[in-house]
Chains A and B, each alone.
Chain A
Amino acid sequence: MSSTLSVPKLRKLLLSLTVFTLTACDISQLNNPYPDTDHGQAILYSSFSERPKHLDPAVAYSSDEYGFIGQIYEPPLQYHYLKRPYQLQPLTATKLPTVRYLDKQGNMLPDSANDAEIAFSDYLITIKPGIAYQPHPAFSQNEPGRYLYHALSDEQLSAIDTLTDLPVQQSRTLTAEDYVYQIKRLAYPKTQSPIAELMAGYIDGFAEFAQATAEIPLQELKNQTLRGVQALSDHQYRIRIKGKYPQFQYWLAMPFFAPMPWEADVFYAQPGLKNKNITLDWFPVGTGPYWLQENNPNRRMVLAKNPHYHPDFFPTEGDPGDHEAGWLNDAGKPLPFVDKVVYTLEKESIPYWAKFLQGYYDASGIASDSFDQAVQFSGSGDPQLTQMMREKQIQLQTSVATSVFYMGFNMLDPVIGGDSEANRKLRQAISIAVDYEEFIAIFANGRGVAAQGALPPGIFGYQDGEAGINPVVYDWQNGKPRRKSLEKAKQLLAEAGYPNGIDPKTGEALLLYFDTTATGADDKSLMNWYRKQFEKLGIQLVIRGTDYNRFQEKMRSGAAQIFVWGWNADYPDPENFFFLLYGANSKVKQGGENAGNYANPEFDRLFEQMRNMDNSPERQRIIDRMQNILRQDAPWLFGYFPKDFALLHSWYKNLKPARMINNRLKYSRIDTELREQKREEWNKAEFWPLLLGFALLAVAIYPAVKAYRRQQQETKS
C-alpha cells in the first residue's frame, strides 16, 4: 500500500468533516467571555481601561473612581436623575439642608442678611432613619462592643485572601456621627484628601483640626472634636461654613461627604490586612445600592446588590417630553433594577469595540478609530448611526459635557498677556483666526460645540442663541453664529501693532510659543494645524513640546506663553467655571486653578458678588457682564465644549446622559431575554474557513509526502 490516503479513508474523512461542519454551524457563543452561570441573570456588563487609583471617598476624585464608589457610598444629597438643568434632591437626607446665617457672635441672621454681615452659615442635615450598611466584617460582633475582627490573629490572617473569607458579616444602622467622622477624615493629614486645603478655607475649625491631629493615630480620630462639624442627634448633624458659600450644597452630593463608619477605619488599619492589599482604599463600606463583591483591579470588579439597601424608587417626574421619550416607563418602581455589574479590564480599544458589537458589553463610548464604523453626519451636520449600527438596533445618545477645553494665554507674558489695548487686540485676532469649528470637525470627529464663553450648556448662566454669542469672534447670521472674517482678525492684528503679522521690533514675523505635552507622532498633524491657524495671520507659532512634568513646571512658574487646558466641572454652578479666571486663584501667584493668571478687578468684583447668589435674573445679569468682560479681554480662546457620544444596545434601558450624576447605575435596567437572543444570533461560530485552510495545507503537502515516500522506496530497493 503505497498511497498515503486510500479512497475509503478519504471518504470517511470528508464525511466526518461535513458532519462536524454542519453541526458546528449551530454552536453559538464559543467566544462568550463570561461564565455559563451568568446566563439569564440581570447583570450589566461594562469595562474599565485602567484600575482606579482610589476607592476611599475621602481621596477618590476622578470620574473613573466615581463610577464605582458613586454606587457604594451615599452622600446626603443627589441630583435628580431626569431633570435638567441639574437639581439637587435628598438621598439619605430627609430634605435639602436647612441653612442658617450667623453673625460673628453666633446670633442668627435673617435670610435677607447681606454677605458682609454673615460670618458663618450653618447647614443642618437630617438623615432618614433605618438606613443600614452593607454586610461587612468590620461590624461583626459576638456581643455588644466586642468586635470579632478588629484584632485579627496571625492564624486568622493566614486564612484570608479577600474580605469574604471572614465568615461573619454583619451590618449596622447609619448615624449622623458617620457623616461627621468622614469630614474628620477629610481633615486628617494622613488621609491626604485632595480637597483638604480647599475645605480648610470653608469649614469652620477644619484647618485647626488638621494641625491638631497631624500626629495622632487613626484609631483616635473619632474621639477628636472638629469645631465646625457636630452630630446633634443620631439623625441630625450640622456643618458650619465660614461666611456664605451657597455652592457647598453641591459638595454634599459628592462622595467626599458620604458617611464612613469608624469601625471600617479600625478594621482596615490592621497591618496584616494591609500586606494583603485589603485596605479601605480598595474595599469600600457603604450604604448604597451596590457593594463591591469582587475587587480584582487587575482583572475584574463586580458590584452586587446591597441586601440592606433602603427603599428607593425611580423618579415619577422629569423634564417635559421625558414621558413621551420613555424615560418615565419605570416611574415609581423600586431601585436598583440590575442585580450585578461586572466591570472587566479592557486595556485596548480594538477588542473592547469588537466585544461591544458581539453584545458582550451593554454600552460603549466611541473611540476615534471606530468612529466611522458607528456614526456618520447627515447633510445638516447631525450625527446618525451607520447602517451596521441600525441593523443591530443600537441607540446613539449625545450630550454636551459640563467641561471645557480652551486655549489659554499666559496673562503675565509681556507679548501676549497683560491688559494693554494692543495685547488685547492681538488675543482677539488670534481668537478669530484659530478656527475651532474646523478643529472639532477634524480632530474631534464632530464631537464638540465651539464655545462662545466660559460656561457650557446646562450650567446656569449659559445663554443660547444670539444673546449668547461672543461678539468679538462671531456675527449672528441666518440664525446661527458665523466666525468673523480673517480680514477682521488682520485688522485687529494691525491695530495691535503687528501689520500682516510682522513684529516691528525685528521686522520679521511675530514669534509666539505654544507649550504642549503632545509630542507623539500622532500629534504631529494637530501641531501642524495650530501652526497653520497662526500662519493665517502671518504669525509664526513655535511648538515647544515637553513632557508632562516639565509642562506643569512651566505652568507653575509662568514660563508658558500659549497652552491648551481643560476643566471638568465639580458641580453644575457657574462659580465652578468662573473661578478658573478669578485673580485670587492665579497659578503662578497662588498655586490656584487660574492657569492663565488672568486678573481683572471688575471681573473679580463681579465674581465675588455672583458666587454667593442664588440663581436669579440678577445673577444672570452679572454673569452676562462677566462673560462680556472675558470676551473683550480674551484671556482664553474659548475652544470647545466636548460632546459625549454613547452607544447603547437595544436591551439597555433608562440610561439618560448625565455626567454630573455619580449614582446613575441604580436606574439602569437590562432586558436580559432580548440580550440572550441577540447574542445567540450574533455569535454563531464559523468553522469552515479553518477546515478549508487545513484542506489547502494538506493539498500543498501531499505531493511532497508522496515524493518523499517514493524516494524512500527507491532507496530501499
Chain B
Amino acid sequence: MAATLSDEILIEQARNGRQTAFAMLVKRYEQYAYTLAFRFVKNREDAHEVAQDAFLRAFRYLPDFRGDAKFSTWLYKIVYSTALNFLRKQHPDILSTDDESRPVRLPDEGTPDPSHVMERHDRNAALQRAIQMLSADDAGIITLFYLYEHSLEEICQIMDMTMTNAKTKLCRARQRLKNIVEDRFSAEIAN
C-alpha cells in the first residue's frame, strides 16, 4: 500500500492545474468540510451548497495559500466564512451566530456526572442531536476542537477570535451542550 500523499504535494499538483489533485483534496476533506458546514447551517441541503462553495473558493484562492497554516485550517476558515455569509444572506436580520443570550447553567459540583449511567452509543446519538441544537458558533467550536482535534490557536485562526475569547466560547459551548443533553435527552436515554 503506497503511502498517502501529503496535502503539500496535492496542493502543488492542483496549482499546476491537475484535476486528479483537486479531486483527491475534495475526497480527503469532503466529510470534514460538509460536517462543519452542517454544524453551522443545520440543514443538509444548505450544507451541501456551503461546502461546495467553500471548495470552489479554496481552489480559486489556492495560489494564495502560502502554507503558513495547515491546509485543513485554511479550508475550514473558508468553510466558516462561507457559512457565515450564507446565514447572513438567508437571515439578513441575524446579528450573531453566537449564543451569548442563552444562560449557561453551572453544574452542581457535588452531583455525579450523568455520563456514568448512560450507554455510550445512546449518549453519542443524543450528543449528535444535541449539537444540532447549539448555535452555529457553539457547534462549530465543539466540532473543531473535539472532533477535528484542532488546537485553540488554529480555532482562533479559523473563527477569527482571540485566545481568551476562544477558550471562553469553548467552555460555554461545552456547558450548553451538556445542559441540552441533560434537559432534552436524559429521559430518552434512560428509557
A and B held together in a complex:
no
Q: Could you list which residues of chain B lie within 8 angstroms of chain A, going by C-beta atoms?
A: none
Q: A: which residues have CB within 8 A of B?
A: none
